[in-house]
Chain A
């Protein structure tokens, strides 16, 4: 086992969904000992005993239309059984490199476990609302009394103060609030949300940085701290240039895929493919012509006399005739393979790239050579591929990949480390504080 960058660092992550778990995962990838603390219904539970659902599951196994309930959690091969809560591809991807503790913090036993956990932990990460964290006893006021060196990072939607502190949110809600959804869109059309809940990784990565910076400061001062991270703010932070522009001279109109400094730029249709053998799919290439010299190189590759039009030989002219040029480029790209075309254009030093699908990313020769596509043997699931850790260090790595924990899978080991005796642990199990299966009928 390689010594991790953060070996010796102890983290408790009490996070739901994506942003909080991404903080835990990043620290775990870097070698910290991360305990994922969960409530018994955190991962959902048994599938409803619904004949229609069972029939749909059989359809899936025959390769027919996938039942959307099964689609949602990305079960391997669409098979949720026997333990759906341990088989979700999304959950397992978010929670590698962590150990699992599933405990009810509201019982007397749960409070004892929590206190000992706090006393031996460096960092707590959560994404509970201020009210939720107080009622669970995980708020900074409580935990810093027990461990003044503790660093508590709370990644909420809106933050712990301000008039909207009790509002509930998900990433797409924050994209709307931060103005970024209104800035994104096709020219002349309405706002557009991103294809995933983009504010979540923005918040989770900022949260990971916050932990490392707070730890650095603790080394200097000996004191821990509370970091009140609002994902509304971190999402606004990546739009600081657009916000400043708006403050000075108003919001720029939506511009689709065009550039504000060069032309032409666009996303052009290439030859369709059928990558998953289910349906024919639209494939595209993104091209940016950075300046006149790049335009000249582009014309040599495309070999279309119509592109030599005098009107197209200056930036102003190309901006003026952008639609016309787009039509000519589309005509040229339409029946070409997007990877081969990108390679040809790159050979002429033109910024061009296939518009990567999820399948392209996993199969990417480039990402594989970089060691980014990893696999691990997930208990109860088997060996599957996942995206790996994206930061490369010359003096360390690659990051070790340990599977995501089963629900409550490390309950006993963690409680032993906390100094509880075997009989005490048996008692915690008997009184329902420590569990490793969700309640019957639990749904998210």
Chain B
């Protein structure tokens, strides 16, 4: 993958995560942002305890990327961007549908091998293509919002912009598939990824529940509707655990483990579906055992019976998790402070980078990237003079 060159023009999570994934697989990724800085640099969550404050989203999503500051809306800026495009295999954008199509015509004209991945909320066509979106409306479009939360309250979003992340994974898949196709025919293409569709394809049974049975999927709080119990968050002495015993063998093991063997033989509890309809009763009978023990005791005990279970960990606890530590999952972005951690490479490929690289400072690699694209030093200096590009201070960048 080290020979692959990716230009990341995104200012939203979807494209930025696609480019990060490609970087963790060994591609050389160059982030191009405006001279005023990418919108991602002010995206929440903001690290307000740092001076100057920074965006956790930007710092996480931009790791391993080189940084170029370039205003490509001007003619001079576009010419400079064209030099970078000439030296790229893949360009990733998160423009609106109209802008993405216009960009595509310009960028791929005369560059038949270039692959353009356009990540959006609704895709580049269809009646909603021009509609506005936010993290929350992405959740609404995805179908996940309606089915998450308390049935007696309003539907609930997930805590992060995960529809965008999922669109990002699909964008990275699209980029790789297009690269494989290019290997056989030499042609690049436009890859159109909308978060709504990717999320709709990431439902377990919602869509077939409608098309096969005409039924609406409802919210079920911390249980797993419509017919699986227990696959639930349950309270124990010091917090919550997730216990999942949908199969017959797991159910029997769970009843035996909780010293309630009579429940394993009770025909009213014979299937995961029957159990869902009497979940209150089942949970009530489990409660004395669970409320007398803490999360660690419950989870280690149940795992000993091959019952899937985990503590509901806070993010602080998860940062100290021995499994993730043992697998060297963490990256340490030193500019953010000593001991600060974030997820590193999600899974290791032979081509994954050996060392961690923090997110670039604004314009950190402008001169180098434009130089590699064949631009002479005086040309770059002229662009800096016209404020079309920006370089970070310090020659060591």
Contacts of B141 in A (CB 8 A): 353, 356
Which of A98-106, A142-150, A249-257 touches B? A249-257
Which of A232-240, A300-308, A405-413 touches B? A232-240
Q: Is the CB of A230 within 8 A of B316?
A: no
Residue in A158, A200, A267, A358 whose CB lies within 8 Å of B136: A267
Q: Is the CB of A248 within 8 A of B340?
A: yes
Question: In angstroms, how far is the closest chain A Cβ from the Cβ of B301?
Answer: 13
| A interface bracket (residues with beta carbon within 8 Å of B) | 35 or more
Interface residues of A in 176-194 (CB under 8 A from B): 176-186, 190-194
Interface residues of A in 259-276 (CB under 8 A from B): 259-262, 265-269, 275-276
Q: How far is the CA of A282 from the CA of B330 in the complex (A)?
A: 43
Residue A76, interface by CB 8 Å: yes
Q: Of all chain B residues, which has the CB nearest A279?
A: B216
Q: Is the CB of A186 within 8 A of B45?
A: no
Residue A214, interface by CB 8 Å: yes
Residue B64, interface by CB 8 Å: no
Residue in A213, A223, A391 whose CB lies within 8 Å of B174: A391
Q: Is the CB of A256 within 8 A of B156?
A: yes
7 nearest A-B pairs in the assembled complex, by CB-CB distance: A68-B273, A195-B147, A212-B176, A288-B134, A183-B159, A201-B202, A358-B206
Q: Is the CB of B201 within 8 A of A387?
A: yes
Residue A321, interface by CB 8 Å: no
Residue in A210, A281, A365 whose CB lies within 8 Å of B349: A210
Q: Is the CB of A194 within 8 A of B201?
A: no
| Contact A248-B276, Cβ < 8 Å, known A190-B240, A209-B169 | no
Q: Is the CB of A196 within 8 A of B321?
A: no
Additional A-B contact list (17), CB under 8 Å, known A177-B318, A186-B150: A74-B208, A172-B231, A177-B313, A178-B313, A182-B313, A202-B165, A206-B169, A215-B180, A230-B327, A240-B342, A241-B60, A245-B45, A255-B159, A267-B136, A276-B216, A284-B155, A351-B137
Residue B394, interface by CB 8 Å: no
Q: List 30 A-B contacts (CB under 8 A).
A: A172-B242, A177-B313, A179-B313, A183-B315, A191-B233, A193-B222, A195-B220, A198-B202, A206-B169, A206-B347, A216-B1, A225-B350, A229-B346, A230-B327, A239-B315, A242-B160, A245-B56, A257-B136, A266-B154, A276-B215, A353-B137, A353-B141, A360-B143, A361-B207, A385-B207, A387-B207, A390-B197, A391-B173, A393-B178, A393-B191
- Which of A180, A210, A349, A359 has the most C-beta atoms of chain B within 10 angstroms of its own C-beta? A359
Q: How far is the CA of A384 from the CA of B44 in the complex (A)?
A: 42
Q: Is the CB of B350 within 8 A of A176?
A: no
Q: What mask results when residues 58 to 93 of chain A are scored 1 for a CB within 8 Å of chain B, else 0? A: 000000001111111011111000000000011011
Contacts of A78 in B (CB 8 A): 213
Q: How far is the CA of A26 from the CA of B329 in the complex (A)?
A: 26
Q: Is the CB of A396 within 8 A of B189?
A: yes
Q: Is the CB of B159 within 8 A of A358?
A: no
Q: How far is the CA of A208 from the CA of B173 in the complex (A)?
A: 7
Which of B79-87, B304-312, B366-374, B375-383 touches A? B304-312
Q: How far is the CA of A290 from the CA of B125 in the complex (A)?
A: 24
Q: Of all chain A residues, which has the CB nearest B50?
A: A248
Q: How far is the CA of A261 from the CA of B189 in the complex (A)?
A: 36
Question: In angstroms, how far is the closest chain A Cβ from the Cβ of B58?
Answer: 9
Residue B324, interface by CB 8 Å: yes
Q: How far is the CA of A443 from the CA of B333 in the complex (A)?
A: 49
Residue B255, interface by CB 8 Å: no
Q: Is the CB of B336 within 8 A of A248?
A: yes
Q: Is the CB of A444 within 8 A of B247?
A: yes
Contacts of A197 in B (CB 8 A): 204, 224, 231
Q: Of all chain A residues, which has the CB nearest B307?
A: A168
| Contact A351-B194, Cβ < 8 Å, known A74-B208, A212-B176 | no
Q: Is the CB of B316 within 8 A of A365?
A: no
- Which of A169, A176, A180, A215 has the most C-beta atoms of chain B within 10 angstroms of its own C-beta? A176
Q: Is the CB of A259 within 8 A of B174?
A: no
Residue in B128, B146, B318 whose CB lies within 8 Å of A178: B318
Contacts of A346 in B (CB 8 A): 131-132
Residue A11, interface by CB 8 Å: no
Q: What mask results when residues 142 to 163 of chain B are scored 1 for a CB within 8 Å of chain A, else 0? A: 1111111110011111111010
Residue A394, interface by CB 8 Å: yes
Q: Is the CB of A366 within 8 A of B122?
A: yes
Contacts of A385 in B (CB 8 A): 207, 211
Q: Is the CB of B213 within 8 A of A182?
A: no
Residue A335, interface by CB 8 Å: no
Q: Is the CB of B47 within 8 A of A353?
A: no
Q: Is the CB of A196 within 8 A of B312?
A: no
- Which of A164, A225, A391 has the most C-beta atoms of chain B within 10 angstroms of its own C-beta? A391
Contacts of B25 in A (CB 8 A): 209, 213
Q: Is the CB of A216 within 8 A of B176?
A: yes
Contacts of A353 in B (CB 8 A): 131, 133, 137, 140-141
Q: Of all chain B residues, which has the CB nearest A76?
A: B212
Contacts of A184 in B (CB 8 A): 148, 156-159
Q: Of all chain A residues, which has the CB nearest B40?
A: A241
Q: Is the CB of A366 within 8 A of B128?
A: yes
Contacts of B170 in A (CB 8 A): 205, 390-391
Question: In angstroms, how far is the closest chain B Cβ from the Cβ of A375?
Answer: 8
Residue B109, interface by CB 8 Å: no
Residue A35, interface by CB 8 Å: no
| Contact A193-B166, Cβ < 8 Å, known A210-B347, A357-B217 | no
Q: How far is the CA of A217 from the CA of B214 in the complex (A)?
A: 45
Q: How far is the CA of A275 from the CA of B128 in the complex (A)?
A: 22
Q: How far is the CA of A150 from the CA of B145 in the complex (A)?
A: 40
Contacts of A192 in B (CB 8 A): 148-149, 156, 221-222, 233
Residue B314, interface by CB 8 Å: yes
Residue B187, interface by CB 8 Å: yes
